[in-house]
Chain A
Amino acid sequence: MTTSMFGAPVQRREDPRLLTGGGRYLDDLGHDALAAALVRSPHAHARIRDIDVTDALDVDGLVGIWTHEDLPGRVGEPLPLLIPHPTLTHGRTQYALARDEVNHVGEPVVLVVARDRYVAEDACQRIRVDYELLSPVVGIEDARAATHLVHDDVPDNVSAHMLQEVGDVESAMAAAPHTLELDLSIERSASMPLEGRGVYARWDDEREELRIYSSTQTSTGVRAAVAAKLDLPLAKVECIAPDVGGGFGVKINHPWPEEVLVPWAARVLGRPVKWTEDRREHFVSSAHERGQLHRVRVGFDDDGRLLALDVKFWHDNGAYTPYGIIVPIITSTQLLGPYKPGTYRVEFWSLYTNTVLVTPYRGAGRPQGCFAMERTMDAIADELGLDRTEVRRRNFIQPDEMPWDHGLLFQDGRPLRYDSGDFPATLATLERLVGWDDFAAYRDQARAEGRRVGLGIGCYVEGTGVGPYEGGHIQVETSGRVNVSTGLTSQGQGHETVFAQVVASELGVRLEDVHVTTGDTRRMPYAVGTFASRAAVMSGNAIALAARQVRAKALRIAADALEVSPEDLEIVDGDVRVKGAPDTHMGLGTVSVMSNPLRYAFDEAAKAATQFAGSNDPDKPPVADDEEPGLEGKDFYSPTQATFANGMHAAVVETDPVTAEVRILRYCVVHDCGPMINPMVVEGQVHGGVAQGVGGALYERMVYDGGGQLLNASFMDFLMPYASEVPFIETDHLETPSPLNPLGIKGAGEAGCIPVSAVIASAIEDAEGFPIRSMPISPVELWELRRRHERGEWPSLRHAHGIPADPPAATAPGDPRDPRDPRDEPTPATRPEEQR
Chain B
Amino acid sequence: MSGDPVVEELLDVTVTVNGVPRHARVPARRLLSDFLRHDLGLTGTHVGCEHGVCGACTVLLDGRPARSCLVFAVTAQAHAVTTVEGLGTREAMGPVQRAFAECHGLQCGFCTPGFLTTVTAYLEEHPHPTQDEAREAISGNLCRCTGYQNIVRSVLRAAELREAAEADATAGDS
Contacts and interface: CB of A to CB of B under 8 A. Distances in A.
Pair from one complex: yes
B97 A20 contact: yes
B38 A31 contact: yes
Given A57-B2, A60-B5, A194 B147 contact: no
Interface stretch (A100-108, A147-155, A241-249, A474-482): A241-249
A318 interface: no
A726 B142 contact: no
A686 B1 CA distance: 56
Interface string A296-317: 0000000000000000000000
Interface of B: 1-8, 27, 29-30, 37-38, 41-51, 53-54, 56, 83-85, 87-90, 93, 97, 100-102, 104, 106-113, 116, 131, 135-136, 138-153, 156-157
28 contacts: A19-B106, A19-B112, A19-B116, A20-B84, A21-B44, A21-B45, A23-B43, A55-B1, A58-B4, A116-B38, A195-B108, A243-B108, A245-B110, A246-B107, A246-B144, A248-B144, A278-B50, A494-B107, A684-B146, A688-B147, A689-B147, A715-B51, A716-B53, A722-B140, A723-B139, A723-B141, A724-B136, A752-B147
B47 A27 contact: yes
A192 B144 contact: yes
A691 interface: yes
Given A31-B38, A690-B147, A14 B97 contact: no
A822 interface: no
A246 B142 contact: no
Interface string A805-818: 00000000000000
Contacts of A19: 84, 88, 93, 97, 100-101, 106, 109, 112, 116
Given A194-B54, A715-B142, A722-B139, A18 B109 contact: yes
A166 B85 CA distance: 59
A172 B110 CA distance: 53
A715 B53 contact: yes
A491 B108 contact: yes
Given A28-B43, A714-B49, A715-B54, A58 B102 contact: no
A500 to B, nearest CB: 16
Contacts of B43: 21, 23-25, 27-28
B152 A246 contact: no
Given A192-B144, A279-B48, A492 B107 contact: yes
Contact of B131 (A15, A23, A720, A833): A833
A-B pairs with lowest CB-CB distance, top 7? A21-B44, A492-B108, A245-B110, A687-B147, A18-B109, A691-B147, A492-B107
Given A21-B83, A193-B110, 18 more contacts: A15-B101, A16-B90, A17-B90, A19-B93, A20-B44, A21-B113, A22-B44, A23-B43, A25-B46, A58-B4, A60-B6, A194-B54, A195-B108, A492-B110, A687-B148, A691-B144, A692-B144, A714-B49
A726 B149 contact: yes
A59 interface: yes
B19 to A, nearest CB: 15
A529 to B, nearest CB: 16
A194 B110 contact: yes
Contact of B145 (A246, A278, A834): A246
A669 to B, nearest CB: 11
A16 B109 contact: no
Contacts of A834: 131, 149, 152-153
Per DSSP, chain A at the interface is loop
Nearest to B92: A20
Given A59-B6, A492-B108, A723-B135, A195 B46 contact: yes
Contact of B2 (A28, A58, A192): A58
Nearest to A23: B109
A729 interface: yes
Nearest to B146: A688
Per DSSP, chain B at the interface is loop
Contacts of A692: 144
A691 B45 CA distance: 24
Contact of B150 (A18, A246, A684): A684
Contacts of A15: 100-101, 106, 109
Contact of B149 (A23, A194, A722, A729): A729
**Which of B85, B109, B153 has the most C-beta atoms of chain A within 10 angstroms of its own C-beta?**
B109
Given A245-B46, A716-B51, A681 B146 contact: no
A11 B102 contact: yes
B159 to A, nearest CB: 11
A245 B142 CA distance: 13
Contact of A687 (B49, B100, B141, B146): B146
Given A11-B102, A21-B44, A833-B131, A720 B144 contact: yes
A118 B148 contact: no
Contacts of B46: 25, 194-195, 245
A493 interface: yes
Nearest to B99: A19
A33 B137 CA distance: 38
Interface string A671-698: 0000000001101101111111000000
A126 B104 CA distance: 47
A647 to B, nearest CB: 15
Contacts of B30: 118
